[in-house]
Amino acid sequence: MKTPAPPSRPLEALRELTPARVGLGRSGASMPTDALLAFTLDHARARDAVHTAFDAPHLVAGLAGLGLQVGEVSSQARNRRDYLRRPDLGRMLDPDSRRALEKQSGSASEIVIVIGDGLSPAAVNVHAVELVRHLAARLTEAGISLGHVVVASGARVALGDEIGAVLGARMVVMLIGERPGLSAPDSLGAYLTFAPRIGLTDEKRNCVSNIHGAGLSYDEAAFKIAWLVREGIARQVTGVALKDESGTGSHLGLPARGP
């Protein structure tokens, strides 16, 4: 059998399959002007995403419109400068926020959702409410009661552990803006932790990442998160002890992706 000839322009074919910068060409010893300008623009968008203002009032209003009871808290990072220079401050509630949560901790919740700005407030402003809309429906289908929803400013992932512990949650789901990349400045991530408490490390968490327009859709992400919540509660574990066996699009009414 005759071997098919390779494509005459393989790098152009590869560029159709990935947002990565491949086969940019050259102009003398440098990149072509168009490629350089595109890189500069994407870098600027990534920097802007980090410094975008966190629109907590918009999030609270949107979540309340879903019929959810929403609270607001802050970490010990008082401003964006502190947040970026002192990651430890973003992992701890400020004293006023902790006291306010303690007043709400009378009845234990099965699951608490925390929405934090993270390293891309732009991602949270755009995606968080719609993801929660899809996720709430999935959790209801699974018979899982959604307790508190907390909007957290100046948040790192581990801040969800303290919030969940104070509220007595069995599991915390932290939705947070991921570190912006040159191809996705507005990517949202979800981190799930069973039996949250202060001092847990990352091997105790599961992560569903790349939730954005060119990544995971809201429904795909909600399906995966709800599966991990259900199985995490049933098995009483998250992290390396809980593998994502939720499957692919066939569970969502979508075409399967490969064998």
**What is the model's pLDDT at position 2?**
63
Instruction: Tell me the H-state helices in the chain.
Output: 10-15, 33-51, 56-64, 80-85, 95-102, 121-141, 159-167, 218-235
**What is the model's pLDDT at position 254?**
39
How far is 25 from 191, CA to CA, in rounded Å?
Answer: 39
pLDDT tier at 23, thresholds 50, 70, 90: confident
% residues pLDDT > 90 (the chain): 66
What is the chain's mean pLDDT, rounded?
A: 88
State the pTM of this model.
Answer: 0.86
Both tokens of 72, joined, read 């607001």
How far is 22 from 182, CA to CA, in rounded Å?
Answer: 13
What mean pLDDT is predicted for residues 55-61?
96
Answer whether residue 3 shows pLDDT above 80: no
